Amino acid sequence: MYSAIKSIVFVITMVLSPMACFTSYAQDSTVAEVVTEEVIAISETVTEGQPAHDHHAEVVDEQDPIAAIMHHISDANEFHIWGDIVLPLPVMVRKVDGSWSVGLSNQYHVEKDGLILSHGRIVDAHSHSAKGLIDLSVTKNVAMMLLSLLLLTLIFFSVKSSYQKRGVNSAPKGLQSFLEPIISFVIEDIAKPNLGKHYEKFLPYIMSAFFFILINNLLGLVPFFPASANLTGNIAFTLTMAVLTFIVTNISGNKNYWTHIFAMPGVPKVLLLIVTPLEIIGMFTKPFALMIRLFANMTAGHIIILSLVSLIFILGENGAAVGGAIGGTAIAVPFVLFMNALELLVAFLQAYIFTLLSAIFIGMAIEEHHEEAHH
Protein backbone atom coordinates (compact mmCIF):
# COMPACT_ATOMS: atom_id res chain seq x y z
CA MET A 1 0.00 0.00 0.00
CA TYR A 2 2.78 2.42 0.91
CA SER A 3 4.63 1.68 -2.32
CA ALA A 4 1.42 2.36 -4.22
CA ILE A 5 1.17 5.81 -2.56
CA LYS A 6 4.76 6.63 -3.55
CA SER A 7 4.05 5.51 -7.10
CA ILE A 8 0.98 7.74 -7.31
CA VAL A 9 2.92 10.78 -6.08
CA PHE A 10 5.68 10.16 -8.62
CA VAL A 11 3.38 9.75 -11.62
CA ILE A 12 1.18 12.69 -10.68
CA THR A 13 4.16 15.03 -10.63
CA MET A 14 6.13 13.55 -13.56
CA VAL A 15 3.49 12.37 -16.05
CA LEU A 16 0.29 14.34 -15.59
CA SER A 17 1.83 17.83 -15.30
CA PRO A 18 2.66 18.14 -19.04
CA MET A 19 -0.99 17.32 -19.83
CA ALA A 20 -1.87 20.94 -19.03
CA CYS A 21 0.14 22.25 -21.98
CA PHE A 22 -0.98 19.43 -24.30
CA THR A 23 -4.65 19.92 -23.47
CA SER A 24 -4.41 23.68 -23.98
CA TYR A 25 -2.87 23.15 -27.40
CA ALA A 26 -5.32 20.38 -28.36
CA GLN A 27 -8.51 22.33 -27.65
CA ASP A 28 -11.38 21.51 -29.95
CA SER A 29 -11.18 24.71 -32.00
CA THR A 30 -14.00 23.64 -34.32
CA VAL A 31 -16.50 23.29 -31.47
CA ALA A 32 -15.20 26.46 -29.83
CA GLU A 33 -15.60 28.40 -33.08
CA VAL A 34 -19.15 27.14 -33.65
CA VAL A 35 -20.14 28.00 -30.07
CA THR A 36 -18.49 31.41 -30.31
CA GLU A 37 -20.23 32.26 -33.59
CA GLU A 38 -23.60 31.09 -32.24
CA VAL A 39 -23.28 33.11 -29.05
CA ILE A 40 -22.07 36.17 -30.98
CA ALA A 41 -25.12 35.99 -33.23
CA ILE A 42 -27.44 35.74 -30.22
CA SER A 43 -25.66 38.54 -28.39
CA GLU A 44 -25.74 40.84 -31.42
CA THR A 45 -29.48 40.31 -31.64
CA VAL A 46 -29.99 41.07 -27.95
CA THR A 47 -27.52 43.95 -27.76
CA GLU A 48 -28.17 45.52 -31.14
CA GLY A 49 -26.54 48.90 -31.48
CA GLN A 50 -23.81 48.31 -28.89
CA PRO A 51 -20.17 48.23 -30.06
CA ALA A 52 -18.53 44.81 -30.41
CA HIS A 53 -15.64 45.79 -28.16
CA ASP A 54 -17.90 46.72 -25.24
CA HIS A 55 -17.20 44.16 -22.53
CA HIS A 56 -20.69 44.53 -21.11
CA ALA A 57 -22.13 43.60 -24.48
CA GLU A 58 -20.38 40.23 -24.22
CA VAL A 59 -22.64 38.92 -21.48
CA VAL A 60 -24.42 35.81 -22.70
CA ASP A 61 -28.18 36.09 -22.81
CA GLU A 62 -29.18 34.07 -19.76
CA GLN A 63 -32.75 33.83 -21.04
CA ASP A 64 -31.59 31.72 -23.98
CA PRO A 65 -30.98 28.25 -22.48
CA ILE A 66 -28.93 26.94 -25.41
CA ALA A 67 -26.52 29.89 -25.37
CA ALA A 68 -26.22 29.83 -21.57
CA ILE A 69 -25.60 26.07 -21.42
CA MET A 70 -23.04 26.06 -24.24
CA HIS A 71 -21.28 29.04 -22.65
CA HIS A 72 -21.09 27.20 -19.31
CA ILE A 73 -19.71 23.88 -20.58
CA SER A 74 -17.23 25.46 -23.03
CA ASP A 75 -13.65 26.36 -22.21
CA ALA A 76 -12.74 30.03 -21.73
CA ASN A 77 -9.73 32.31 -21.41
CA GLU A 78 -11.08 33.69 -18.14
CA PHE A 79 -12.64 32.16 -15.05
CA HIS A 80 -16.11 33.43 -14.17
CA ILE A 81 -16.54 33.79 -10.40
CA TRP A 82 -19.84 35.56 -9.74
CA GLY A 83 -21.91 38.12 -11.62
CA ASP A 84 -19.53 40.42 -13.48
CA ILE A 85 -16.53 39.27 -11.43
CA VAL A 86 -14.06 37.23 -13.48
CA LEU A 87 -10.54 36.00 -12.83
CA PRO A 88 -8.20 36.93 -15.72
CA LEU A 89 -5.94 34.14 -16.94
CA PRO A 90 -2.63 34.27 -18.83
CA VAL A 91 -2.97 34.49 -22.61
CA MET A 92 -0.39 33.28 -25.12
CA VAL A 93 -1.69 33.10 -28.69
CA ARG A 94 0.16 32.56 -31.96
CA LYS A 95 -1.62 34.59 -34.64
CA VAL A 96 -2.08 33.72 -38.30
CA ASP A 97 0.87 35.89 -39.32
CA GLY A 98 3.18 33.95 -36.97
CA SER A 99 3.56 36.65 -34.33
CA TRP A 100 2.69 36.05 -30.68
CA SER A 101 0.38 37.95 -28.38
CA VAL A 102 0.94 37.64 -24.63
CA GLY A 103 -0.90 39.16 -21.69
CA LEU A 104 -3.79 38.69 -19.28
CA SER A 105 -7.28 38.03 -20.59
CA ASN A 106 -8.67 41.28 -19.12
CA GLN A 107 -6.35 43.21 -21.48
CA TYR A 108 -8.30 41.77 -24.42
CA HIS A 109 -11.65 43.29 -23.45
CA VAL A 110 -10.67 45.85 -26.06
CA GLU A 111 -8.69 45.01 -29.19
CA LYS A 112 -5.07 44.09 -28.50
CA ASP A 113 -2.63 42.87 -31.16
CA GLY A 114 -5.55 42.29 -33.51
CA LEU A 115 -7.25 39.96 -30.99
CA ILE A 116 -10.21 40.42 -28.70
CA LEU A 117 -11.94 38.48 -25.92
CA SER A 118 -15.34 37.52 -27.24
CA HIS A 119 -17.63 35.61 -24.87
CA GLY A 120 -14.72 34.20 -22.92
CA ARG A 121 -12.56 33.15 -25.89
CA ILE A 122 -9.70 34.89 -27.67
CA VAL A 123 -10.66 35.44 -31.32
CA ASP A 124 -9.57 37.57 -34.24
CA ALA A 125 -10.88 41.09 -33.69
CA HIS A 126 -12.11 41.47 -37.27
CA SER A 127 -13.49 38.04 -38.20
CA HIS A 128 -14.51 37.05 -34.64
CA SER A 129 -13.15 33.62 -35.44
CA ALA A 130 -10.50 31.45 -33.75
CA LYS A 131 -9.56 29.82 -37.06
CA GLY A 132 -5.80 29.83 -37.63
CA LEU A 133 -4.97 30.82 -34.03
CA ILE A 134 -2.85 28.54 -31.84
CA ASP A 135 -4.00 29.15 -28.29
CA LEU A 136 -1.43 28.06 -25.69
CA SER A 137 -3.10 30.09 -22.96
CA VAL A 138 -3.87 28.94 -19.44
CA THR A 139 -7.60 28.53 -20.03
CA LYS A 140 -10.28 27.73 -17.47
CA ASN A 141 -9.88 24.00 -18.07
CA VAL A 142 -6.09 24.15 -17.78
CA ALA A 143 -6.41 26.12 -14.52
CA MET A 144 -8.79 23.44 -13.24
CA MET A 145 -6.34 20.72 -14.26
CA LEU A 146 -3.51 22.42 -12.40
CA LEU A 147 -5.77 22.83 -9.35
CA SER A 148 -6.65 19.13 -9.37
CA LEU A 149 -2.96 18.28 -9.78
CA LEU A 150 -2.15 20.41 -6.73
CA LEU A 151 -4.96 18.84 -4.69
CA LEU A 152 -3.90 15.29 -5.60
CA THR A 153 -0.28 16.05 -4.72
CA LEU A 154 -1.26 17.50 -1.34
CA ILE A 155 -3.67 14.63 -0.61
CA PHE A 156 -1.26 11.84 -1.39
CA PHE A 157 1.74 13.47 0.25
CA SER A 158 -0.46 13.80 3.34
CA VAL A 159 -1.39 10.11 3.16
CA LYS A 160 2.27 9.22 2.55
CA SER A 161 3.32 11.10 5.69
CA SER A 162 0.56 9.34 7.65
CA TYR A 163 2.01 5.97 6.68
CA GLN A 164 5.47 7.14 7.68
CA LYS A 165 4.32 8.34 11.11
CA ARG A 166 1.99 5.47 12.06
CA GLY A 167 3.60 2.68 10.08
CA VAL A 168 2.26 0.59 7.22
CA ASN A 169 0.57 -2.00 9.44
CA SER A 170 -1.16 0.46 11.80
CA ALA A 171 -4.87 1.26 11.61
CA PRO A 172 -5.51 4.14 9.17
CA LYS A 173 -7.02 7.38 10.42
CA GLY A 174 -8.58 10.46 8.87
CA LEU A 175 -7.98 10.96 5.15
CA GLN A 176 -5.86 7.80 5.09
CA SER A 177 -8.82 5.69 6.24
CA PHE A 178 -10.99 7.18 3.46
CA LEU A 179 -8.53 6.60 0.64
CA GLU A 180 -7.15 3.19 1.64
CA PRO A 181 -10.30 1.22 0.67
CA ILE A 182 -10.38 3.00 -2.72
CA ILE A 183 -6.70 2.29 -3.32
CA SER A 184 -7.19 -1.34 -2.29
CA PHE A 185 -10.16 -1.61 -4.65
CA VAL A 186 -8.13 -0.34 -7.61
CA ILE A 187 -5.30 -2.74 -6.81
CA GLU A 188 -7.36 -5.85 -6.02
CA ASP A 189 -10.27 -5.45 -8.45
CA ILE A 190 -8.73 -3.61 -11.40
CA ALA A 191 -4.96 -4.03 -11.52
CA LYS A 192 -4.36 -7.59 -10.31
CA PRO A 193 -7.15 -9.41 -12.24
CA ASN A 194 -6.29 -7.73 -15.56
CA LEU A 195 -2.54 -7.21 -15.36
CA GLY A 196 -1.60 -10.40 -13.52
CA LYS A 197 1.88 -10.72 -12.03
CA HIS A 198 3.04 -7.55 -13.82
CA TYR A 199 0.48 -5.33 -12.12
CA GLU A 200 3.02 -3.43 -9.99
CA LYS A 201 4.77 -2.16 -13.12
CA PHE A 202 1.61 -0.46 -14.38
CA LEU A 203 0.08 0.43 -11.01
CA PRO A 204 1.44 4.02 -10.98
CA TYR A 205 -0.35 4.87 -14.23
CA ILE A 206 -3.55 2.96 -13.43
CA MET A 207 -3.84 4.51 -9.97
CA SER A 208 -2.98 8.03 -11.11
CA ALA A 209 -5.42 7.91 -14.04
CA PHE A 210 -8.23 6.74 -11.72
CA PHE A 211 -7.77 9.47 -9.12
CA PHE A 212 -7.01 12.19 -11.69
CA ILE A 213 -10.25 11.51 -13.58
CA LEU A 214 -12.22 11.07 -10.35
CA ILE A 215 -11.19 14.35 -8.75
CA ASN A 216 -11.87 16.30 -11.95
CA ASN A 217 -15.27 14.62 -12.28
CA LEU A 218 -16.09 15.67 -8.72
CA LEU A 219 -14.76 19.21 -9.12
CA GLY A 220 -16.93 19.60 -12.22
CA LEU A 221 -20.02 19.02 -10.08
CA VAL A 222 -19.17 21.91 -7.74
CA PRO A 223 -21.15 24.88 -9.10
CA PHE A 224 -18.89 27.69 -7.85
CA PHE A 225 -15.32 28.98 -8.13
CA PRO A 226 -12.59 27.66 -8.00
CA ALA A 227 -14.23 24.47 -9.30
CA SER A 228 -17.13 24.15 -11.79
CA ALA A 229 -15.05 23.78 -14.99
CA ASN A 230 -16.25 21.02 -17.31
CA LEU A 231 -12.78 19.49 -17.69
CA THR A 232 -13.65 15.82 -18.18
CA GLY A 233 -16.40 16.96 -20.56
CA ASN A 234 -13.71 18.51 -22.78
CA ILE A 235 -12.81 16.18 -25.63
CA ALA A 236 -9.20 17.44 -25.66
CA PHE A 237 -8.78 16.19 -22.09
CA THR A 238 -10.32 12.78 -22.78
CA LEU A 239 -8.24 12.56 -25.97
CA THR A 240 -5.07 13.15 -23.94
CA MET A 241 -5.98 10.46 -21.41
CA ALA A 242 -6.84 8.01 -24.20
CA VAL A 243 -3.52 8.75 -25.97
CA LEU A 244 -1.64 8.01 -22.74
CA THR A 245 -3.37 4.62 -22.49
CA PHE A 246 -2.62 3.99 -26.17
CA ILE A 247 1.08 4.76 -25.66
CA VAL A 248 1.41 2.62 -22.52
CA THR A 249 -0.42 -0.27 -24.19
CA ASN A 250 1.63 -0.37 -27.37
CA ILE A 251 5.00 0.32 -25.78
CA SER A 252 4.36 -2.56 -23.37
CA GLY A 253 3.06 -4.94 -26.04
CA ASN A 254 5.05 -8.18 -26.25
CA LYS A 255 5.88 -10.34 -29.25
CA ASN A 256 2.60 -12.26 -28.95
CA TYR A 257 0.61 -8.99 -29.06
CA TRP A 258 2.27 -7.74 -32.25
CA THR A 259 2.13 -11.18 -33.86
CA HIS A 260 -1.65 -11.29 -33.41
CA ILE A 261 -1.94 -7.90 -35.08
CA PHE A 262 0.28 -8.38 -38.12
CA ALA A 263 0.33 -12.16 -38.56
CA MET A 264 -2.45 -13.77 -36.54
CA PRO A 265 -1.59 -17.45 -35.95
CA GLY A 266 -3.82 -20.01 -37.68
CA VAL A 267 -5.20 -17.55 -40.22
CA PRO A 268 -4.50 -18.29 -43.91
CA LYS A 269 -2.18 -15.76 -45.54
CA VAL A 270 -4.87 -14.68 -47.99
CA LEU A 271 -7.21 -13.75 -45.13
CA LEU A 272 -4.43 -11.80 -43.43
CA LEU A 273 -4.98 -9.12 -46.10
CA ILE A 274 -8.37 -8.56 -44.46
CA VAL A 275 -7.64 -9.44 -40.83
CA THR A 276 -4.45 -7.40 -40.40
CA PRO A 277 -6.01 -4.02 -41.41
CA LEU A 278 -8.92 -4.74 -39.05
CA GLU A 279 -6.50 -5.45 -36.19
CA ILE A 280 -4.61 -2.24 -36.92
CA ILE A 281 -7.86 -0.29 -36.91
CA GLY A 282 -8.72 -1.99 -33.61
CA MET A 283 -5.56 -0.55 -32.07
CA PHE A 284 -7.03 2.94 -32.55
CA THR A 285 -10.71 2.21 -31.91
CA LYS A 286 -9.96 1.11 -28.34
CA PRO A 287 -8.56 4.47 -27.18
CA PHE A 288 -11.19 6.22 -29.32
CA ALA A 289 -13.89 4.42 -27.33
CA LEU A 290 -12.23 5.51 -24.09
CA MET A 291 -12.19 9.12 -25.29
CA ILE A 292 -15.81 9.25 -26.43
CA ARG A 293 -17.23 7.33 -23.45
CA LEU A 294 -15.81 9.69 -20.82
CA PHE A 295 -16.47 12.84 -22.86
CA ALA A 296 -20.07 11.97 -23.75
CA ASN A 297 -21.13 10.85 -20.29
CA MET A 298 -19.72 13.84 -18.42
CA THR A 299 -20.92 16.39 -20.98
CA ALA A 300 -24.40 14.87 -21.08
CA GLY A 301 -24.69 15.10 -17.30
CA HIS A 302 -23.79 18.79 -17.27
CA ILE A 303 -26.20 19.58 -20.09
CA ILE A 304 -29.09 17.73 -18.41
CA ILE A 305 -28.57 19.51 -15.08
CA LEU A 306 -28.29 22.94 -16.73
CA SER A 307 -31.35 22.21 -18.87
CA LEU A 308 -33.38 21.40 -15.76
CA VAL A 309 -32.21 24.61 -14.08
CA SER A 310 -33.23 26.51 -17.22
CA LEU A 311 -36.81 25.31 -16.66
CA ILE A 312 -37.04 27.76 -13.74
CA PHE A 313 -36.39 30.73 -16.03
CA ILE A 314 -38.40 29.40 -18.96
CA LEU A 315 -41.49 28.75 -16.82
CA GLY A 316 -40.88 32.03 -15.00
CA GLU A 317 -41.42 33.87 -18.29
CA ASN A 318 -44.01 31.69 -19.98
CA GLY A 319 -45.54 29.57 -17.25
CA ALA A 320 -47.90 31.86 -15.43
CA ALA A 321 -50.48 29.06 -15.36
CA VAL A 322 -48.25 26.98 -13.10
CA GLY A 323 -47.12 29.80 -10.88
CA GLY A 324 -44.25 31.16 -12.94
CA ALA A 325 -40.82 30.86 -11.41
CA ILE A 326 -42.22 29.26 -8.23
CA GLY A 327 -43.82 26.50 -10.25
CA GLY A 328 -40.68 26.10 -12.32
CA THR A 329 -38.59 25.83 -9.17
CA ALA A 330 -40.92 23.24 -7.67
CA ILE A 331 -40.64 21.15 -10.82
CA ALA A 332 -36.93 21.61 -11.56
CA VAL A 333 -35.29 21.42 -8.12
CA PRO A 334 -36.24 17.77 -7.31
CA PHE A 335 -35.01 16.67 -10.74
CA VAL A 336 -31.78 18.68 -10.34
CA LEU A 337 -31.13 17.09 -6.94
CA PHE A 338 -31.75 13.66 -8.40
CA MET A 339 -29.45 14.34 -11.37
CA ASN A 340 -26.71 15.66 -9.08
CA ALA A 341 -26.89 12.49 -7.02
CA LEU A 342 -26.80 10.45 -10.22
CA GLU A 343 -23.84 12.47 -11.52
CA LEU A 344 -22.00 11.80 -8.25
CA LEU A 345 -22.37 8.10 -8.99
CA VAL A 346 -21.35 8.63 -12.62
CA ALA A 347 -18.22 10.51 -11.47
CA PHE A 348 -16.98 7.38 -9.70
CA LEU A 349 -18.34 5.02 -12.35
CA GLN A 350 -16.62 6.73 -15.29
CA ALA A 351 -13.29 6.86 -13.47
CA TYR A 352 -13.67 3.15 -12.75
CA ILE A 353 -14.67 2.27 -16.34
CA PHE A 354 -11.82 4.25 -17.90
CA THR A 355 -9.28 2.67 -15.56
CA LEU A 356 -10.74 -0.83 -15.96
CA LEU A 357 -10.70 -0.68 -19.77
CA SER A 358 -7.17 0.75 -19.73
CA ALA A 359 -6.05 -2.15 -17.53
CA ILE A 360 -7.78 -4.64 -19.83
CA PHE A 361 -6.13 -3.20 -22.95
CA ILE A 362 -2.70 -3.20 -21.30
CA GLY A 363 -3.30 -6.71 -19.97
CA MET A 364 -4.13 -7.96 -23.46
CA ALA A 365 -0.89 -6.44 -24.76
CA ILE A 366 1.31 -8.12 -22.13
CA GLU A 367 -0.50 -11.44 -21.97
CA GLU A 368 1.86 -14.37 -22.29
CA HIS A 369 1.21 -16.98 -24.99
CA HIS A 370 0.97 -20.50 -23.62
CA GLU A 371 1.54 -23.33 -26.06
CA GLU A 372 -0.86 -26.21 -25.62
CA ALA A 373 0.71 -29.61 -25.14
CA HIS A 374 -0.15 -32.16 -27.81
CA HIS A 375 -0.23 -35.81 -26.91
For 284-340, how does the pLDDT look when each residue is reduced to its tens digit (9 = 90+)? 999 999 999 999 998 888 888 888 877 777 766 665 554 555 666 777 778 888 888
Q: How confident is the model at residue 54 (pLDDT cuts 50, 70, 90)?
A: very low
Q: Computed over its alpha carbons, how large is the radius of gyration of the chain?
A: 24
For 68-122, how does the pLDDT look when each residue is reduced to its tens digit (9 = 90+)? 777 778 888 888 787 778 888 999 999 888 899 999 988 888 888 889 988 788 8
Contacts of 2 (CB under 8 A, 6+ apart): 160, 163, 168
Residue 141 near residue 73, CB atoms below 8 Å: no
Return the number of other C-beta atoms located less than 10 Å from residue 227's C-beta.
16
Q: Alpha carbon of 247 to those of 40, 44, 191, 210, 367: distances in Å?
A: 39, 45, 18, 17, 17
Is the pTM higher than 0.85?
A: no
For 191-210, how does the pLDDT look when each residue is reduced to its tens digit (9 = 90+)? 999 998 889 999 999 999 99
